[in-house]
Chain A
Amino acid sequence: MKKRNMPLVYIAAVLISLFAIAPFVWMILTSLKPQAEIYSKPLQYLPQHLNAEGYKGMLNAKADPNVNFISWFKNTAIVSLLTTVLSLIVSALGGYAMSRFQFRGRMSIGYIILLTQMLPGSLLIIPLYLIMKDYHLLNSYFGLVIAYATIAIPFCTWMLKGYFDSVSTAIDEAASIDGAGRWTTFVRVILPLTLPGLVVTAVFSFLTSWNEFMFAQTFLSDYDKWTLSVGIASFQGQYVVNWDYLMAGSVMTTLPIVVAFWLLQKHLVSGMTAGAVK
């Protein structure tokens, strides 16, 4: 890039950064404003008086019977953790088989994995709702975890297969010569070598379930079983929206995710792009 283009580069960089962060910044600013300032005319962009009422109200379950932020947070964390563990186990096994074994049906499983990527959730949810109802899995973490894990599994398998492919098969052969069986090779040799890939995949499925809305909204009717997405979205239908509460809840829902993204940026990106960009 020639020197004379540099001002243009900086202008573009500032514009695109502003575009990307403006709603995020607005959320944080609003969460710190007293209600009067949120509804003030003319609009105040920066909070004139810092105010933590929203955060306090959200975290104090007794203040408002419609707010159960701590339960929602806990529910979301439990569901997301269980989903992550389940999908990681299944997709590590499957990804390893896809990467290392030559077996009948391997190609068709590859295609099926790809095909599951296109299944629309809004179609899937109709039969799944009836099946969950028949097995009394509505309103339970277990039902939601099964649905989330299965939706995350194909993509996780695909990602992990990529990581396993990047480990040379010479390592498997060396372990095999040393007398290790398939299982020992997998657990003791291959998994430790692909730890970064496992972490990325884990984060991916954690985020997917942390952010999911449609299934949680449809499967969970008990309000103390709700996840964060459902709980926060429930504010929106009310006649009077307490935007300071709502934005405080949003900040607390978002910050863990944004921090995770920043910490894992490089790995996340290489994991996402490994399969498609080659």
Chain B
Amino acid sequence: MNNDNALLGQPSLPTQQTEAAPRPRFWRSEWRRLKQNRAAYLFIAPLALAVGLVLLYPILKAALMSFQYWKVARPIAEGHPFVGLDNYAAVMDSGYFWQSLGITFLYIFVTVVLRFVLGIGTAVLLNTPFKGRGLVRALVIIPWAVPEVVTCLVFILMFDYQFGVVNDVLIKMNILSNPLAFLGESDTALWAAMFVNVWKGFPFAAIMLLAGLQGIPKDHYEAASIDGASAWKQFTSVTLPALKPVSVIVFLLLVIWTVKDFGIVYVLTGGGPSRATELLTIFIYRAGFKSFDFGLAAAAGMFLLLISVVFTVLYMKATKAGESA
């Protein structure tokens, strides 16, 4: 990548011009730069327009709304006047907000760790030559391909209290004595939702980590094996250190995406029962589209944005560290 840039050069920077360069050539290069830039701006214009109008402008609007009165159900004559930090105060005062924040962090922590562990295991397996590896790989990718809503519906059926296959199997294996309404009880609903998330998300982690594994030179293993290292020792002393850069990136990507997670839990439980699975994203969505207080929703959204920003900055740092290494 960097080589490409060097090839195209940066004729614009005066420091790169030699003193001896004749004047006409200098003007020509200036003109070329302008022309080249014009082409670049034309190519980039639709992208800038789309991102600006449909992503950045709404975010700025949301930031503005978080300081305004926006209770749609109770309109006032003044329209949407500024109310200072009222919306933020209302968010901070809401016990449900803090509860949803806690649920969000628990959900992120548990699902990211589990997807990661399962992903590494699967990646190591798929990196081992055995008969039928291609088939296993094709099967493992299925959860990734199944649409989110479909995934949720199948699990709702499988977790069902009366005729769900999960209860049936667990009772036959004597793990449960009585059936459980997995998605209907406050104690189990969040864990059941996490299970669905892990099922759907582990193939991505596996495939990314597999790509990282395939980049480890074979002779590292040969050297370790000559030194008499066991398979487990090889895993901890060769595989894991070599996977570290990719792991950091996959880990942070999973976190950034899980912060935004909405669909799986919303379709499975709608945030219930009695708000036991209400992620911050669901809190915001309900504040907006169920209570119709867009100001409060926007203010809560700013907290969510803050969490995303923190992890994205970490991600940028991590990828940059990888580039320079």
Show the binding face of A for B, using Cβ within 8 Å. Answer: 1-2, 5-6, 9-10, 12-13, 16-17, 19-21, 23-24, 26-27, 30, 38-43, 45, 89-91, 93-94, 96-104, 106, 109, 111-131, 146-147, 149-151, 153-154, 157, 165, 169, 182-183, 186, 210-211, 213-214, 218, 228-229, 232-233, 235-236, 243, 246-247, 250, 253-254, 257-258, 260-262, 265, 269-270, 272-273, 276-278
Contact = CB atoms under 8 A, between A and B. Distances in A.
B47 to A, nearest CB: 3
A39 B319 CA distance: 51
Nearest to A211: B147
B59 A124 contact: yes
B40 interface: yes
Interface string B47-76: 110110111111101100100000000000
Nearest to B198: A19
A27 B154 contact: yes
B121 interface: yes
Contact of B285 (A17, A214, A265): A214
Interface of B: 1, 4-5, 7-10, 12, 36-37, 39-41, 43-44, 46-48, 50-51, 53-59, 61-62, 65, 121-122, 125, 128-130, 132-133, 135-158, 162-163, 165, 168, 199, 203-204, 207-208, 211-212, 215, 231, 246, 249-250, 253, 256, 259-260, 262-263, 266-267, 281-282, 284-285, 288-289, 294, 297-298, 301-302, 304-305, 308-309, 311-312, 315-316, 319, 322
Given A90-B50, A118-B260, A277-B215, 8 more contacts: A27-B150, A91-B47, A101-B40, A123-B59, A127-B65, A150-B54, A261-B144, A276-B250
Contacts of B162: 39
B259 A118 contact: yes
Interface of B is mostly: helix
Contacts of B208: 272-273, 276-277
Contact of B5 (A1, A102, A117, A236): A102
Given A93-B44, A109-B44, A118-B312, A265 B37 contact: no
